[in-house]
Amino acid sequence: MTSAAATLAPPRPRRRLVRRLLKPGNLLPAFVWLFLVLNQAVNSGFPPSFATAGLVIINSVALTLFIVRRDASRVAGKVDGVIAIAGTFSASLLHDAGQLKDAQLLPTLIQVAGLTGWGLSLLALGRSFGVVPADRGLVRHGPYRFVRHPLYACEALFFIGYATAVPTPRTFVVLAVWAALQVVRIVREERIIEGYEPYRRAVRWRVLPFVW
């Protein structure tokens, strides 16, 4: 009786944590994300600009969420995965070249607002976080009460601040590609999550109220 009960008992919290930390589906993306964090740190120079330091912190939080995220009940196809990965890592082609260190007040304030919203959106998303579109549970609290994709909205706001501080042709080309990929990504991502239609009716706007 005791032996059977022990066999059927759920894994201890510590064992569950270890299994989640060692799960390839979480660990491998975390290592890829670690590359993004290190790339930002290495290319920023020293001391880093405020924006670069904020991005390193934000992406470190995202790295942690990758490791502890819940399993997906449904995952998008390969095409969606390629679009999502390209949309995420295309921004790594931006380099501040030291210009952000001397950014004026307006670009800095825009980036502070973007980073703040970005962080709040990540915290609200929590264990539902991912890059490739997948159903890890519908999030409707925090910033998700106001727009359906606040994470992308705040990323866009941050990059508007970046473009204001570093208005080069390279910046505008990279950000145009990034924005186009996000639009496609958002439209395709919404098809995957169960129960999304009632949420779409309750929260009308995807990214920017009264616009889209």
Residue 2 lies in a domain: no
HSE, side-chain direction, 13 A CA sphere, residue 147: 18
Q: Under 8 Å CB-to-CB from 62, ≥6 apart: which residues? A: 33, 122, 129
Closest CA to 138 of 187, 192, 65, 182: 192
Number of domains in the chain: 1
Predicted TM-score (pTM) of the model is 0.80
Give the integer Cα–Cα distance in Å for 155 and 31: 22
Greater confidence, 6 or 200?
Answer: 200
Give the integer Cα–Cα distance in Å for 93 and 45: 15
Residue 210 lies in a domain: no
Question: Residue 12's pLDDT is what?
Answer: 62
pLDDT band at 113 (very low <50, low <70, confident <90, very high): very high
User: What is the per-residue pLDDT across 124-182, written as a single tens digit (0 to 9) for each?
Assistant: 998 888 888 888 889 999 999 999 999 999 999 999 998 988 888 999 999 999 999 99
Residue 208 lies in a domain: no
Here the CATH number for the domain that contains residue 188 is: 1.20.120.1630
pLDDT band at 4 (very low <50, low <70, confident <90, very high): very low
Helix orientation angle between 150-165 and 50-68, rounded to the nearest 10 degrees? 160
Give the integer Cα–Cα distance in Å for 55 and 118: 10
Domain hosting 73: range is 11-202
Give the integer Cα–Cα distance in Å for 192 and 45: 40
